[in-house]
Structure 1
Amino acid sequence: MKKNKMNLTQDPVTGLIIKMTFPMIFGMLGIVAFNMVDTYYVSKLGLIPMAAMTLTFPVVMVIGALAQGIGIGAAALISKAVGEQQHTKIIRYTTDSLTLGLILVFVFVIAGLLTIRPLFTLLGADLETMPYVVDYMTIWYGGVMFLIIPMIGNSAIRALGDTKTPALIMTVAALVNMLFDPIFIFGYGPIPALGIKGAAIATVISRAITLIVSLYVLIYRQKIVSFQKALFSDIVKSFKDLIYIGIPNALTRIITPLAIGVITGLVTTFGKEATAGFGIATRIEMFAMLIINALASIFVPLLGQNIGAKKDLRVMEVIKKSELFSILYGLFVMLILILFGRPLAQIFTDNSAVIETVRMYLLIIPIGYGLQGLFLIHTSILNVINKPLHSAMISLIRMFLLYVPLAIVLSGLMGLNGIWIALNASFVISVLISKYMVGKLMLAHQNH
């Protein structure tokens, strides 16, 4: 394995947090840009293709969630093995996480292609949208390997302490997609206009590049993928370890959008202006939360390597400084959005009711941004110390036992703003729960 320039178990923690988080911001911007570009160009084809593409989001989300879950499992296990300096374990977990990804690819391609029509009929596709759904998903399923394997591979690379390479891979994918989308959708030179098929082809090509680069890094640069025959019992154990962390995390990522779907339905009862304002505000929030989400993505390797190296004092330093970083950034963004909420809303609309919805959202919700960061840190800690079920449980509690019920009650008492207050209240309570749980389980883990 090639030695990393940053030593996660020895270099100053504050510097590591900044150096590792910064590249991931650009990588995540790449992901946001990827999705926005697809949506923008397909919307130019008309309402029906756009509706068809929207119908594909739940399936794409579920498959992506499973890949992310396996990736989180891989990152947690590999990072600890790096800290333990167990090179054999690093190779085993990296190789087997990719193999597990290939098994998922096989299952999704076969099952997906055989169930396009019945599945999307259940999801609401009608006679008008179904041909577009079939065109898009037939190509998308064919390239599902290019989605799953790089997601797992990039998690493995991050586990080594390298956040620059995954960020670069994601940024390049976004740029390639940005270039190829209009060419394949609308046609250019000898390439005919392919419509929604073109969007799927552009996605597959850009994802294929991420596959090639991530595998090159893992196989040739880091040399942590083995093609030698392994004991079946070792592979089974490795699969169990990966699935044990991966599946609860995948389910958490599926549960969250379901809860958001309930909240969106609640918002729509306040009218079209409220719905539009909610949509604009959440897109602004997507950018505001980039740094918090980037911190969460680098936290697992940083913590995992130090836990693996049994540096208990440094582990506590990583946690405390990450929490401080999250709180300070949350306060900074809160101030910016409180001051500039209205001008930001006016970029997207001139409707006064919509602007007011956005303004109130950006006045109330950012108060809890720092807490959102703490919650992400706490759930990441639970994954690294091999307590993924606890992580999934508190995520479930936050969404369905706190946020959704509170939103229903407070919206009845306080109107639309009650929904925003409910989100912050859910984070206050869930962070108190997660902090207590992490403290107790970390102590048990260190004494183990």
Structure 2
Amino acid sequence: MKENKMGTMEMKKLILTMSFPIMISMLVQALYNIVDSMFVARVSETALAAVSLCYPIQMILVAVACGTGVGVNALLSRYLGEKRYKEANQIALHGIFLALCNWIVFAILGIFFSEAFLRLFSSDEQILQMGIHYMKICTIFSFGVFVQITYERIMQSTGNTIYNMIIQGVGALINIILDPIFIFGYFGLPAFGVTGAAIATVIGQIIAMIIGIVITQKKIKEVKVHPKEWKFDMQLIGKIYRISFPAILMQSIMSFMTVFMNMILIPFSALAVSVFSIYYKLQQFVFMAVLGMNNALIPIISYNYGARKKERILEAIRFSLLISTLIMAIGTIIFQLFPKELLYLFDAKENMLAIGIPALRIISISFIFAGVSMVLCSVFQALGHANQSLYITLLRQLILLIPLTWGMAQSFGLDTSWIAFIITEVVCAGLSILILQRIKRKTIMKIN
């Protein structure tokens, strides 16, 4: 079989051609998260607060799906680089099996624990009822997003990323179209409000899942996904989760960070919680572009590590850091120049602008440093050093950030507390560079 393009194509071209479709698909994904909130904000501030409180659970759900996909992606790419095609097929089949298992777990949690979770943050019955309906729908029907993401990672591992753009683009477009229909009640439908936003979300995910299954079966030749050939292998699941578990924790940490930030901000006002939720969704436009590149970078480095191509690995790292810095610099400029216009997207009034404008301008200074850590964490995962990624992410999202934010908020007030993001990202970028130098000596430079 002819060698995959990940081992032969000029590296800059390879990264750009593989990254661009994933970036577009993830930016579309970020767009529909924002559109959801934009429509919900026009229902009421209470509705926006309900969806904002549910958002960490949605993030954890996606973290488990994407984190499991990282293990599937990295192993699949490595086996393809080593020409071990039977093992690669089994990795793909076990990835689908794990996606279904994860869905069952979240469906059970959503049915029985949605109310208990939301009562941690609010006693407002209107917010609670809206949030419970929203969360139950998103978890019970989450099989769509779990299976969709698994098939996307299977495609990425073979170097086919254009299909990711199609899958996520169609799913997001359907969600955006259905949002106002279900939320406000068009074409004879009743106005479902927040519940309508959840219905639109899961319909988009399920349709995207179906498209992913069809494309993989018809277009992806390197990996054969035939359920009849699946043979349960606990060792294989162990291999997947040795890579996936740190990745799941890394992405879940973002959800826990949001929960803790909500706890820090709620004493100031419920509006502060909504502002942070809005910031988080806005910054996804910037961060998702880098994450899209990272999703391409992991299989590229894994493949070339399996194929023992040292110079290609080093070139991939250098070029990815350059692209990340450029993307984050553009994001910083936009947040510095247009914070008011960004907040107006969410029907912001003067009290929200007073909190939101300083938050967006201060936090965005940290973007470039965050980009360095994000790229290098993906490099560590691809080279089999997933624990180092976990350590850096723990520092970025919890161990440094939360105590710093709390301490500065208590001592100096809400506006000053955002400086904690800058301090945290500078420290973690420096540590990431030091870890990279050690891994280069012990892993990359020893490749013959």
TM-score of the two chains, using structure 1 as the length reference: 0.85
Matches of 1:360 and 1:423 in 2, distance apart? Answer: 13
The share of aligned pairs that are identical, in percent, is: 26
What secondary structure, in the 3-state scheme, does the structure 1 residue paired with 2:22 have? Answer: helix
| Residue in structure 1 matched with residue 292 of structure 2 by the alignment | 294
| CA deviations over 1:76-126 (Å, ceiling 9, x no partner) | 112222222322222111111111111122233344334445555556466
What secondary structure, in the 3-state scheme, does the structure 2 residue paired with 1:8 have? Answer: helix
How far is 1:383 from its partner? Answer: 1.3
What secondary structure, in the 3-state scheme, does the structure 1 residue paired with 2:213 have? Answer: helix
Distance 1:12 1:367, change over 3 A: farther
Q: Contact 1:77–1:384 (CA<8 Å) still a contact in 2?
A: no
Q: 2:172 aligns with which of 171, 174, 178?
A: 174
TM-score of the two chains, using structure 2 as the length reference: 0.85
Distance 1:85 1:332, change over 3 A: same
> 5+ unaligned residues in a row in structure 1: which ranges?
none
Map residues 422-433 of structure 1 onto 2, 5 A cutoff.
Answer: 422-433=420-431
Matches of 1:355 and 1:123 in 2, distance apart? Answer: 23
Matches of 1:275 and 1:110 in 2, distance apart? Answer: 27
Q: Contact 2:340–2:357 (CA<8 Å) still a contact in 1?
A: yes
Runs of 4+ in 1 over 6 A off after TM superposition: 1-4, 268-277, 345-354
Q: Contact 1:79–1:160 (CA<8 Å) still a contact in 2?
A: yes
Map residues 136-147 of structure 1 onto 2, 5 A cutoff.
Answer: 136-147=134-145
What secondary structure, in the 3-state scheme, does the structure 2 residue paired with 1:34 have? Answer: helix
Q: Which stretch has the larger CA shift, 46-55 or 16-25? A: 46-55
| CA deviations over 1:237-281 (Å, ceiling 9, x no partner) | 221112222222222222223334444555566778877765665
| CA deviations over 1:278-323 (Å, ceiling 9, x no partner) | 5665554333334323222222122222112211111011001111
2:226 maps to 1:244 = no
Q: 1:311 aligns with which of 298, 309, 314?
A: 309
2:390 maps to 1:400 = no
Matches of 1:41 and 1:356 in 2, distance apart? Answer: 22
Matches of 2:123 and 2:186 in 1, distance apart? Answer: 30
Distance 1:86 1:102, change over 3 A: same
Q: Contact 1:299–1:380 (CA<8 Å) still a contact in 2?
A: yes
Matches of 2:87 and 2:111 in 1, distance apart? Answer: 36
Matches of 1:271 and 1:434 in 2, distance apart? Answer: 35
Which AA in structure 2 matches 1:426?
Answer: T
Matches of 2:275 and 2:260 in 1, distance apart? Answer: 17
2:31 maps to 1:33 = yes
Q: Contact 1:342–1:356 (CA<8 Å) still a contact in 2?
A: no
Q: 1:253 aligns with which of 246, 251, 254?
A: 251
Matches of 1:148 and 1:166 in 2, distance apart? Answer: 14
Q: Contact 2:77–2:157 (CA<8 Å) still a contact in 1?
A: yes
Matches of 1:339 and 1:265 in 2, distance apart? Answer: 29
How far is 1:386 from its partner? Answer: 2.0
Q: Contact 2:7–2:307 (CA<8 Å) still a contact in 1?
A: yes
2:105 maps to 1:104 = no
Q: Contact 1:330–1:367 (CA<8 Å) still a contact in 2?
A: no
Matches of 1:272 and 1:121 in 2, distance apart? Answer: 14
Aligned positions, number: 444
| Residue in structure 1 matched with residue 227 of structure 2 by the alignment | 227
Q: Contact 2:30–2:281 (CA<8 Å) still a contact in 1?
A: no
Q: 1:87 aligns with which of 85, 88, 92?
A: 85
| CA deviations over 1:164-204 (Å, ceiling 9, x no partner) | 21122111111111222233344344544444443333222
Matches of 1:343 and 1:185 in 2, distance apart? Answer: 24
Distance 1:129 1:8, change over 3 A: same
| CA deviations over 1:321-378 (Å, ceiling 9, x no partner) | 1112222333444445445556666777897786576555555444432221110111
Which AA in structure 2 matches 1:177?
Answer: N
Distance 1:315 1:407, change over 3 A: same
Which AA in structure 2 matches 1:242?
Answer: I
Matches of 1:378 and 1:316 in 2, distance apart? Answer: 12
What value does the CA root-mean-square deviation take over the aligned residues?
Answer: 3.4
Distance 1:117 1:416, change over 3 A: closer
How far is 1:443 from its partner? Answer: 3.2
Matches of 1:146 and 1:157 in 2, distance apart? Answer: 17
Matches of 1:352 and 1:198 in 2, distance apart? Answer: 28
| Residue in structure 2 matched with residue 380 of structure 1 by the alignment | 378
| CA deviations over 1:140-166 (Å, ceiling 9, x no partner) | 343211121111221221222222211
Distance 1:360 1:433, change over 3 A: same
Matches of 1:230 and 1:250 in 2, distance apart? Answer: 24
Q: Which stretch has the larger CA shift, 433-442 or 273-282? A: 273-282
> 5+ unaligned residues in a row in structure 2: which ranges?
none
